[in-house]
Structure 1
Amino acid sequence: MNDAPSRWPVTLGRGPVTLRPLKPSDERAWSQIREHGEAWFKPWDSTRPPGALDQSVGFATLVRRFRHRARRGTMLPWAVDYTPDGRTPRFVGQVTVSGITYGSASWAQIGYWVDPRWAGRGIIPTAVALACDYCFTTLKLHRIEVAIRPENAKSLAVVRKLGFRFEALVPRYMHVDGDWRDHYLFALHAEEVPEGMLARLEQFGAVAPLTPPEGL
């Protein structure tokens, strides 16, 4: 049990980027993105090891489980919407804060992905900054961790842009793409960003722009 009250649902935003609760009606857009970008996602997607007790479930069931955990205060399962030029919001990815622990630990882990058609636009750095600022200022967490495969150059670029600190190479850390894979572990403490992560991004002009890429 945690010792902090549930604050879910939570919606956050900065300019064209919005974090809002993932919902069952996102399934169609989610599936289209994952099918279109299958080759993009496969090397980085978590998988179940042989003999795992928990099995894969459908999207609606997964959302219900996430919502239950969010209301208990142990997870923040956000969809990422992007709304350039006042257009209709587009579902373009996810940011998930998991393993939230309060008390003397006061830490959590964060994961993220984006539709490859919208990559490189500053959307995910902005979304992750919003999520971390909420964790540090509202939830009063002290530490946020990110685990990334060493080969995942695009994801590594996100944490470097945000100023996460490299801590270790952890062998066989997580089951990804069908096997136990090594991961780099990055972390950031609240006192390392007293001005806030979003403010840091804005200072360096790295937040998501208001204009869409050509053809979208």
Structure 2
Amino acid sequence: MDRPGPQGRHPGWPARLGPLQVPAGLVAVRGPRLLDGSAWSKIRLRDREHLERWEPTAPGTWDDRNATLAWPGQWSSLRALARRGMTLPFVITVDGQLAGQVTVGNVIRGSLCSAWIGYWVASHVVGGGVAPAAVALVVDHCFMLAGLHRIEATVRPENTASLRVLEKLGFRQEGLFRRYLDVAGAWRDHLAFALTAEDVPDGLVYRLLADGRATIPQ
């Protein structure tokens, strides 16, 4: 299922993952491209109400940060971090069309081998199995080819859709971070979740397949 690029100093990058068939369509994950800007901006501007309340506070207006002209800088930054082994950035596609992002950040090697994962999907595919499939593909890749041992995720208690994604995949809740992150202009509590490689010896994709939540296209 994984189709990694040449492995060198930073294993697991670049990579193309999937596809998996879910109710919303055919889900795959790949690295971001410069030409993704227009599709990315269109979704981000359209889905402001769906996305802004869950994302970290950042300088500038939503329209400026998510304009097509903002994408080249983000793409360049993500690529640079990936080349340094600090991040594994991916975009999600559904039936070949961009529909969100999954980012593995703060990659630490050595005796920790840990990272966090964050994700968002377009409003029109919410509830169609896209986020669980994309996260499963990326986490399996992290535990297998990228050589990580622990993946963490933090979610606001009010973000029920994101909580459902982690619960479906079997992430373990480990605590509550008080006033952890500045989101939508205020310091917000976040629930802390994690998985280690030992928790899912057969992988998260296998779990989705066994539960009937996804299939592998023939």
TM-score normalised by the shorter chain: which range applies? 0.7 to 0.9
Please give the residue correspondences for 1:102-117 in structure 2 after superposition, counting only pairs within 5 Å.
Answer: 102-117=109-124
- Compute the displacement of 1:6 (Å): 4.8
Name the counterpart of 1:175: 182
CA RMSD of aligned residues (A): 2.2
Quick one: which amino acid aligns to residue 13 of structure 1? G
Corresponding residue SS for 1:58:
helix
Q: Separation in 2 of the partners of 1:60 and 1:208?
A: 34
Name the counterpart of 2:17: 12
Which blocks of at least 5 consecutive residues in structure 2 are unaligned? 1-7, 21-25, 60-64
In the alignment, is the contact (CA less than 8 A) between 1:44 and 1:176 conserved in 2? yes
Determine if the alignment matches structure 1 residue 150 to structure 2 residue 179.
no
Which stretch of the first structure deviates more once superposed, 39-48 or 105-114? 39-48
Structure 1 residues 142-172: Cα deviation after superposition (integer angstroms, max 9, x where no partner): 1100000010000000000000000111011
- Compute the displacement of 1:207 (Å): 2.3
Please give the residue correspondences for 1:27-176 in structure 2 after superposition, counting only pairs within 5 Å.
Answer: 27-48=37-58, 58-83=70-95, 89-176=96-183
Quick one: which amino acid aligns to residue 71 of structure 1? R
- Compute the displacement of 1:33 (Å): 0.9
In the alignment, is the contact (CA less than 8 A) between 1:143 and 1:188 conserved in 2? yes
Quick one: which amino acid aligns to residue 74 of structure 1? M
Structure 1 residues 3-30: Cα deviation after superposition (integer angstroms, max 9, x where no partner): 9535422111123211111122111111
Q: Separation in 2 of the partners of 1:147 and 1:82?
A: 25
TM-score, normalised to structure 1, is: 0.86
CA spacing shift, 1:187–1:72, aligned 2, 3 Å? same
- Compute the displacement of 1:208 (Å): 7.1
How many percent identity over aligned positions? 42
Q: Separation in 2 of the partners of 1:198 and 1:155?
A: 18
Structure 1 residue runs of 4+, over 6 Å off?
none
Alignment: residue pair count: 199
In the alignment, is the contact (CA less than 8 A) between 1:126 and 1:208 conserved in 2? no
Q: Separation in 2 of the partners of 1:208 and 1:64?
A: 34
In the alignment, is the contact (CA less than 8 A) between 2:136 and 2:169 conserved in 1? yes
TM-score, normalised to structure 2, is: 0.85
Which blocks of at least 5 consecutive residues in structure 1 are unaligned? 50-54, 84-88, 211-216
